[in-house]
Structure 1
């Protein structure tokens, strides 16, 4: 039964990846000004899951694509997560897609002012499926909102996004829609001089989203995920940033909107991470 469910989830993940990939191809490949695709692996032993607890080990494989074209950028990330027995050996697929339309590029005018390089509009979605027996998340979420693109080495984007989220976990007969709620997001990738190191990550502050699927309260959540990555590609003479390795740390309070009184709602997770870019 578990194998059938895992296969079913895998098919869903493939469908989501195909759909998300098609969105990145709205403009012809020849129109791309830059593109970066990578596969990666990260591992940690201090993950937490609401109502399950903490101290969970997870292996996470990811496919990430980022690209820029005349009018903006695309970002796609697919995580495939494998938990240990503390989380029922659960398997999960989580897909994030974002498109940012650069207003200055659209009207062909420099809109930079002070520390702000430009202004944009970001839209996209989150999608997941998980086969744990307790909750079995099937999250669907649409996002849209304005973005400030800061004038820094690399990039720093700050967005205020409206979220429309729904789920249909175990025990819920039809898809449940949470109240629309805002998220303040910052995402960055900043090289550290000429050291070969890069400081990267994101911060999400998400407002409470009303009652949950079972009528209980939700709380505002804070998710900070930061990493320090080193360019091994240059050191090994296989191409700049082709191979990167580093450390990552995630702090997630009120995970998925669960109040702090819920066991497993607070995660403090160090990880090791490696990526191959092509």
Structure 2
């Protein structure tokens, strides 16, 4: 169901990431699968089953880092057997590396500046999201094993769902975004995920109110690849949980605006 535009975006993002990887200090690329039966969608009071295939690439180079994730989400009949593509891209410039100065203080390893976008398309019969979102703002890179980044971003978002004749732009709003990947000692386990708080984005495209939203998605992954002789962190399996309050800015009294979704997850890294 991915449109020609979606395909072009995926290809361009992947090419940009691969170009950076050619000069990368490090890089990690994976394909993955996750499954859950308790997904929620606004204005739908049923538990939805989804199968999700994802492609993820991350790399670090002389002046910063790239992150690209492409999710292909497939719902069951409770969500019109919908298919969705959701793309997230972030680029973080390391201010210390660019300036040649050390900005380390307390628990902070360095300072960065992050920009990027979210892009989606979905073919359900009720809303059919066509989200476009740009983000930009400062980032604190914390001094932990693995990584922990905390960003304060300005969000510029628009959509054109079913029933809206032209692209609707929400009010510019803030997002406090945290992303992490932290190994748990020498156990082979790691704690990974993200947590986002987004402020209200004003009236929605139909004139109704929006509310601040909280989206926490965390997983504990186990390095099964080492045990199978495939190499360290080549094949990882684990459990994931997503808590999403006021999903997409819908107020709490909207059915389906609160998601509490356990999932199983597997990833192959290459």
Asked if these proteins are the same fold (TM beyond 0.5), I'd say: yes
Supply the distance in 2 between the matched residues of 1:41 and 1:153 (Cα, whole angstroms): 26
Per the alignment, in what secondary structure is the counterpart of residue 260 of structure 2? Answer: strand
Q: Does the CA contact (< 8 Å) of 1:115 and 1:150 recur in 2?
A: yes
Give me the whole-angstrom Cα distance separating, in 2, the residues matched to 1:188 and 1:18: 26
3-state SS of 2:241 partner: strand
1:271 aligns with 2:263: yes
Q: Which residue of 2 aligns with 1:3?
A: none
* TM-superposed deviation, 1:10: 4.2
Say yes or no: does 1:106 pair with 2:93.
Answer: no
Q: What is the CA RMSD across the aligned residues, in angstroms?
A: 1.0
2:75 maps to: 83
Q: Kindly state the Cα deviation for residue 160 of structure 1 after the two structures are TM-superposed.
A: 0.2
Q: Find out whether 1:249 has 2:227 as its counterpart.
A: no
Shift of 1:159: 0.3
Residue 108 of structure 1 deviates from its aligned partner by: 1.7
CA contact (8 A) 1:54 1:267 kept: no
Q: How does 1:106-145 map to 2 (within 5 A)?
A: 106-145=98-137
Question: What CA distance in whole angstroms lies between the structure 2 residues aligned with 1:174 and 1:124?
Answer: 23
Give the structure 2 partner of residue 11 of structure 1.
Answer: 4
* Partner SS for 2:57: strand
Could you list the runs of 5+ residues in structure 1 that have no partner in the other structure?
1-5
Task: Return 5+ residue gaps in structure 2 as ranges.
Answer: none
Change (3 A) 1:30 1:87: closer
Tell me what 1:20 maps to.
13
Question: Which consecutive aligned stretches of 4+ in structure 1 deviate over 4 angstroms post-superposition?
Answer: none
Counterpart residue number, 1:160: 152
TM-score normalized with structure 2 length: 0.98
TM-score (norm 1): 0.95
State yes or no: 1:46 paired with 2:38: yes
